[in-house]
A and B are shown apart, each in its own frame.
Chain A
């Protein structure tokens, strides 16, 4: 059952990519959740859709773009989106959460226009929305590995500053931690990881991989480091279960991965509830 994933290159790439996003997404998710920014992942994934639609549209009219994987345009859009959200959070200083629905709906709105202008809905688009087990080519995979290394290294380097800022922004600023630049860096990382993850999980469900494993981890973890440990375990387990069942049952992996996460979450809530009695 599992062997089939090692017989075919494309499946192997999907599995490895899955394992990498099962690691990255929950780690970034821990920071998003404790900073009460979990909806940010949704906003950024929707603006990724705009980029993908734009790339599909360009591909139809300009030959140069026809061969380009739309995911890269999606990443470019979601990085721009993350910077726009930062601007908007500044504009609405007292209602910072407004930035999220603004970017989310703008992203979808513009995206749908691009989609209609391009092809309308087709099978490719379905894969972008809900994920695919066969989406990763060898060159995509090389990009995924590079980005995974870069994101992990940056998170490792700035771990203590991001932790301090998440826990207590005022004190972190007093002790000289550069708040704005770190926040921008973090949002760019989130945008990149969404770009990587959406090929497997799909745009509509990518935020689940950043929040559900963290929600489960929160039920178990006593400290911040433990949050990462549990979140990554839940993330990886859900990826493995989700990918295998998607392949063997011919389902969209986004759906199966999220379902695995939901079961893990329900289990966590139920089990920790018993424990605290």
Chain B
């Protein structure tokens, strides 16, 4: 498999997922070309996180298939080509005694493999990834003492250090202040423009991301829309009413004030995990 020759980063076909006999995702079809920056939006409980877990092979769909760079996710093994940044609060205890350098080097562990150690060139890669996100001044600082926005940059660096072709970010800006969110999106756009990394940004926050992404997909159990940002802007009103109902105005105009109502999009699926074999 040569990743460079594949036109599609992600190919989702007829994907359905149900949990306790409830349909969470219904017949999702989506082709995401390499080099795009997709904003995947949807209200809470719309199945966004579930979809991401299916893409990462953490959940197996009841029907349909997922291909990463032309390879079925069940057979995919080049996980260092995929970067994933989850909601910070989900997965990390902020008292953990680790430096920024140590956290970022974890991003290389899967690539290096068992019974091997960090070499000089790996350490250089770690430093470069930290510079990429502008955190070089904090390299030996304890991760727990950084602000939410800084921590999120460190996690991006961890995802970037293995030089991924696809980066999936699940609600990365939860708990990050509005100004940092802007800087954060600008940084993502730069990664997409300059390095051609395919990005999938999962968020409930349509307003903030729409000026950065190239494509938008709207999810609420089914895929309501998937197209480029311009087409999305033209059909926005319609789309939003279909997806959010009356909530649409609130979300569009007040999204800065309204953050906390939309946090924690866990989809109540957290108990379902891939058991390692």
Contact = CB atoms under 8 A, between A and B. Distances in A.
Contacts of B90: 170
B102 A171 contact: no
Contacts of A169: 91
Contacts of B92: 167-168
Interface in A167-186: 167-181
B91 A174 contact: no
A112 to B, nearest CB: 37
B109 A175 contact: yes
Interface in A122-165: 157-158, 160-161, 163-164
Given A170-B91, A223-B140, A177 B96 contact: no
Interface residues of A, number: 33
Contact of A157 (B58, B102, B115): B115
A226 B82 CA distance: 30
Contact of A174 (B58, B98, B114): B58
A223 B98 contact: yes
A21 B96 CA distance: 25
Contacts of B106: 160, 163-164, 167-168, 171-172
Which of B86, B91, B110, B273: most chain A CB closer than 10 A? B110
Given A180-B276, A223-B99, A175 B86 contact: no
Interface residues of B, number: 38
Contact of A218 (B97, B99, B117, B273): B97
B275 interface: yes
Interface in A234-260: none
Interface string B139-153: 011100000000000
Contacts of B114: 157-158, 161
Contact of A168 (B58, B91, B276): B91
A93 interface: yes
A3 to B, nearest CB: 39
B197 to A, nearest CB: 17
Which of A179, A218, A222, A227: most chain B CB closer than 10 A? A222
Given A160-B112, A164-B106, A179-B276, A170 B97 contact: no
A223 B79 contact: no
A37 interface: no
A199 B258 CA distance: 60
Contact of A175 (B102, B110, B142): B110
Interface string A225-237: 1110000000000
B97 A227 contact: yes
Contacts of A167: 92, 96, 98, 103, 106
A166 B106 CA distance: 11
A94 interface: yes
A222 B109 contact: no
Contacts of B80: 175
Nearest to B162: A175
Contacts of A218: 97
A176 B79 contact: yes
A224 B271 CA distance: 29
A163 B158 CA distance: 14
A158 B101 CA distance: 19
Contacts of B99: 222-224
B216 interface: no
A221 interface: yes
A223 B142 contact: yes
A94 B270 CA distance: 11
B14 interface: no
Contacts of A117: none
20 contacts: A160-B106, A160-B109, A160-B112, A161-B109, A166-B96, A168-B92, A170-B86, A171-B84, A171-B86, A171-B158, A173-B273, A173-B274, A174-B82, A176-B110, A177-B109, A179-B276, A181-B276, A221-B97, A222-B140, A223-B101
Interface of A: 34, 93-94, 157-158, 160-161, 163-164, 166-181, 218, 221-227
Given A167-B98, A167-B106, A176-B77, 4 more contacts: A163-B98, A166-B96, A180-B275, A223-B102
Top-3 shortest CB links A-B: A175-B110, A223-B99, A224-B98
